[in-house]
Amino acid sequence: MMGDVAHRVGVRLNVLATSIQDAAVATADQVVIGEPDDPFALDELARDVDVVTFDHELVDLDLVESLSQRGVAVRPAATALRYAVDKAFQRRRFAEHGLPVPRFVVTDSAGDPALWRFLSGLSSPPVVKVARGGYDGRGVYFPESMDDVRALVRSLKAEVVVEERLELRGEVAQLVVRAVDGEMVHYPLVSTVQADGMCVEVRFPADAPDLAGEAAMLGERIAELIGVVGVLAIELFVTDGGLVINEVALRPHNTGHWTIEGAATDQFSNHLLAVSGQSLGPATPIVAHAVMVNVVGGDEPTVPAAGRAIDGAFVHDYGKAWRPGRKLGHVTAVGDDATLARVTAWAGARAYGTRTRETT
Ligand code: ADP
C-alpha cells in the first residue's frame, strides 16, 4: 500500500523482499531479494537509497544500527524501533516514564523470585507475552492457572512479559505521524475489535469519543519519547481506570487502513512524507464514518472480485497467496450512516471470503 502512493509523494521505492512473490514487489521501482536479517541484502538495499524505512518489525536491531553507524539514514532509527521489537523494553521504558501500562514483570525463568512475588499479588492468572517475535496474537498466552503460568514460562525458554489481565471495556488505536523536524499530526481515535488475538474490524469514529483528547495527548507524548519518524500506531486498552497502553508499531498499521478512503492524507503517504524529510499532510477525516474489516483466509480460496460486487465496498487485495488464517486484504466502507458503513464493509468482507465473524 506504500507502493501504491509512493510516486504521488515523490518517492521511488526500492523494496527488500524475501521472495519475488511478496506483495510489495508488484508496486516497487526496484527489488532486492533477501531476508531482512541478511547483512549482505541490507547492504545492497542501502547502497542505492537515500532512506531506509520498514513495513514490519521482524528486523535485527543490531544490523539496523550498524547501517546508521555507516551513515545510512534509517527512519525510524533502531533506538526507536526497539519499542516495537521488544515488548520487555517497551513496558520498562514506558513504566519509567510514568506512562500507563498494565502491572508487569519481565522474566525468563519459572523459578524467578520476582515472578513468584508478582503472581502472589494477583487475584487471577495474568497474560504471558514473548518479548520478541510475536504478532497477530502469536506469542500471547492466556494461561488458566498460576501453575500454567509457570509451566508456560518454563516451556517458552525465552524472555517474557508477564502482565496483569485487565478487564477491557474496549480497545482503541491512536495513530501519530512525526516528521524529521519533530512536526506531528495525529489521526482521530478509532475503535478496534479483536478476535483470537487478531484485529477483525476498525471503526472511525471510536466508540469512546470522550477519550479522544487523552489518547491524542498520550500519542504525541509517546512519539516524542520514542523519537519516532514516520507513523506510530498505539494500541490502547479502555479500562474503568482509563487508557492503558498495549503495544506500539512504528510503521503504517492495520488500524490506519481506513485513512485511504477516510482521511485527507492516508497513513502510507504520511509515512513516506515523514521519512523522506517532507512536511506532513493533514490527518483530518473527510468522512463522517468509516469501517474497515480485515479479510482472513478461511477453508476456501478467497475471491476479491466477489467483495467488489458489493455496492460501496472498497476492496484492497494484498496479492498474497491464500492460506487459512492469513490476512489477505481488507474492505472499507465510508459514509454518513454508521450502520450502513458497517453492514457494507462486512458484506464486502464476507463476499470476499473472510473467515472472521462479525461481533456485536
Ligand atoms: P500481538 O502483539 O500479537 O498483536 P497483543 O499484545 O496486542 O498481541 O495482544 C492481543 C490481544 O490480546 C489484545 O488485543 C487484547 O485483546 C488481548 N490482551 C493482550 N494483553 C492483555 C491484557 N494485559 N489484558 C487483557 N487482554 C489483553
Residues 206 and 274 in one domain: yes
pLDDT tens track for 118-132 = 999 999 999 999 999
pLDDT at 119: 97
- State which residues form the domain around 42: 2-85
Residue 5 CA to ligand 1 centre (angstroms): 31
pLDDT at 291: 98
Residue 67 CA to ligand 1 centre (angstroms): 32
Q: Higher-confidence residue: 209 or 150?
A: 150
> How confident is the model over 87-94, as a mean pLDDT?
98
Residues 148 and 265 in one domain: no
| DSSP-based three-state secondary structure for 260 | helix
Mutation test of ligand 1: which of 160, 198, 245, 246 has the most ligand atoms closer than 8 Å to its C-beta? 246
Residue 140 CA to ligand 1 centre (angstroms): 7
pLDDT at 338: 97
Residue 246 CA to ligand 1 centre (angstroms): 7
CA distance 77 to 278: 17
Residues 211 and 338 in one domain: yes
| DSSP-based three-state secondary structure for 29 | coil
Residues 75 and 176 in one domain: no
Nearest residue (CA) to ligand 1, atom 15: 197
> How confident is the model over 2-28, as a mean pLDDT?
95
> How confident is the model over 96-120, as a mean pLDDT?
97
pLDDT tens track for 2-11 = 999 999 999 9
pLDDT at 359: 77
Residue 128 CA to ligand 1 centre (angstroms): 10
Confidence check: pLDDT of 204 > 80: yes
Residue 232: closest CA among 172, 173, 283, 176: 176
pLDDT tens track for 272-306 = 999 999 999 999 999 999 999 999 999 999 999 99
Confidence check: pLDDT of 360 > 70: no
Q: What CATH number does the domain containing 140 carry?
A: 3.30.1490.20
Mutation test of ligand 1: which of 237, 238, 245 has the most ligand atoms closer than 8 Å to its C-beta? 237
Residue 47 CA to ligand 1 centre (angstroms): 38
> How confident is the model over 63-76, as a mean pLDDT?
96
Number of domains in the chain: 3
Residues 294 and 188 in one domain: yes
pLDDT tens track for 307-319 = 999 999 999 999 8
Q: Which atom of ligand 1 is nearest to the CA of 137?
A: 3
Omega before 285 within 30 of 0, i.e. cis: no
pLDDT tens track for 139-162 = 999 999 999 999 999 999 999 999
Domain presence at residue 327: yes
Inter-CA distances, 324 with 33, 234, 347, Å = 26, 27, 20
Give the pairing type, strands 230-239 and 170-178.
Answer: antiparallel
Nearest residue (CA) to ligand 1, atom 4: 136
Residues 155 and 181 in one domain: no
Domain presence at residue 90: no
Residues 142 and 44 in one domain: no
Residues 145 and 274 in one domain: no
pLDDT at 31: 97
% of residues, the chain, pLDDT over 70 = 99
Residues 45 and 180 in one domain: no
Residue 63 CA to ligand 1 centre (angstroms): 28
pLDDT at 300: 92
Q: Which residues of 260-283 are buried (b: 16+ CB within 10 A; e: fewer)?
A: bbbbebbbbbbbbbbbbebebbeb
Ligand 1 pocket list (CB less than 6 A): 102, 127, 129, 134-140, 163, 165-166, 168, 171, 194, 197, 235, 246-247
- Give first-to-last CA distance, the chain, whole Å: 29
Residues 277 and 336 in one domain: yes
Domain presence at residue 130: yes
Confidence check: pLDDT of 137 > 80: no
CB 55 within 8 A of CB 272: no
pLDDT at 58: 87
Residues 46 and 145 in one domain: no
Provide the grid cell at 165: 489481565
Nearest residue (CA) to ligand 1, atom 17: 197
pLDDT at 281: 98
